[in-house]
Amino acid sequence: MCRLSYQRWSYQKMDWQRIGDEEGFYRDALPPGWTLIFFPPSLARTSQLTPLDATERTAHHPAAGTGLEERMWVGGSFTFPRDASPLEIGQEISSEATIDSVKERTGKDGRLGWYIEQRRDIRALGATKPSVIETRTHLYRPSLPSRPSSSPAPSKPRRAGAQEDRRADFSFSFLPTAPHLLRFSALTFNTHRIHWDETYCREIEHREGLIVHGPLTALMLLTRFHHALPEGMKVESFTYRATAPLVVDRRIEFKGRWDDAHKMCDLWVEGEDGTVYMRGVGTAVAAPES
């Protein structure tokens, strides 16, 4: 359970100030996707983290000793039911998490992995229906503490073909940096080494640098979609899937293209070289009259 609030840093007084009703923020609707930073995993001792990549053991993490120590955030979705009231700043909210599905699959590198889909129903205290239904898909697989010289390096991201329609109705340019990753890791209590340990990324996972969080990329893509909505519309749903690892210090574009009715939008994150790092779909409905 947690209480939603805005806070800001006052450099003049050097203390935290809560923005209250007098400034008009309380009872404003919580922007879509912001629930990603709430309900972090239970604070665990450092000794309870997975030994190689330092991820926390959540309730849906495979048991210790199974060998499935490496975790990847693959994709997910948000649904905002029409018949439920939106979450508001100042409310106390709760989250109920369940496992929806577990699927076994062998990757291109020959490692057997398990795709675990978690569902979260988030509602205001006392509400009978969830205001947000979120799904998260994680991949768990055996770690590769070292890669023999004869083993192939991770495959390079596949660029979209020339025949793909890449025209966008809106876009937003962004350069992810290491400080961005540090702040998002702190917000979400994420200790995964791929987001802060460059030596681990290069020598163990053979990446070209620190990897941007999948949920951070998804949240920014959803936010750009939210800001591009036609007047009088609100987000109904958003689904996303990571398609390639995104390394810091590479400029990207968050893009979207509407259908003719302006109710469904194809979304993607594109690098300067044409690599697509994430794909998504957003839907919009008429906002209720206030």
What is the pTM assigned to this prediction? Answer: 0.81
Q: Is 157 domain-assigned? A: no
Residue 190: pLDDT over 70: yes
Q: Are residues 79 and 178 in the same domain?
A: no
Range with the poorest average pLDDT among 141-155, 173-187, 222-236: 141-155
Query: What's the Cα-to-Cα distance from 211 to each of 23, 33, 207, 242, rounded to whole Å?
Result: 38, 21, 8, 12
The last residue of a domain, from among 148, 176, 201: 148
Q: Are residues 106 and 173 in the same domain?
A: no
Q: Give the pLDDT band (50/70/90) at residue 10.
A: very low
- pLDDT digits over 266-286, tens only? 999 999 999 999 999 999 999
Q: Is 110 domain-assigned? A: yes
Q: Are residues 144 and 213 in the same domain?
A: no
For the segment 38-48, the average pLDDT, to the nearest whole number, is 63
Whole-number percent of the chain with pLDDT over 70: 73
Taking residue 246's Cβ as centre, other Cβ atoms within 10 Å add up to: 23
Q: Are residues 123 and 205 in the same domain?
A: no
Range with the poorest average pLDDT among 6-15, 16-25, 28-37, 183-192: 6-15
Q: Are residues 278 and 190 in the same domain?
A: yes
Please give the Cα distance from 236 to 231 (Å, whole number).
Answer: 14
- Helix (H) or strand (E) segment spanning residue 67: none
- pLDDT digits over 233-267, tens only? 999 999 999 999 999 999 999 999 999 988 999 99
Q: Are residues 85 and 173 in the same domain?
A: no
Q: Are residues 140 and 176 in the same domain?
A: no
Classified as helix, coil or strand, 278 is strand
Q: Write the CATH number for 89.
A: 3.10.129.10
Q: Are residues 181 and 245 in the same domain?
A: yes
Q: Is 35 domain-assigned? A: no
Please give the Cα distance from 195 to 207 (Å, whole number).
Answer: 11
Give the structural domain span for 265: 168-290
Q: Is 121 domain-assigned? A: yes
Which runs of E-coded beta strand occur in the chain? 2-3, 7-10, 15-18, 70-79, 92-106, 112-124, 132-141, 170-174, 233-242, 252-258, 264-271, 276-286
Q: Are residues 178 and 132 in the same domain?
A: no
The last residue of a domain, from among 117, 148, 179: 148
Place of tokens 């001792």: 45
Q: Is 102 domain-assigned? A: yes
- Helix (H) or strand (E) segment spanning residue 88: none
Q: Is 109 domain-assigned? A: yes
The last residue of a domain, from among 103, 118, 148: 148
Residues 6+ apart with CB under 8 A from 257: 165, 167, 168, 169, 265, 266
Instruction: Please tell me the total count of domains within the chain.
Output: 2
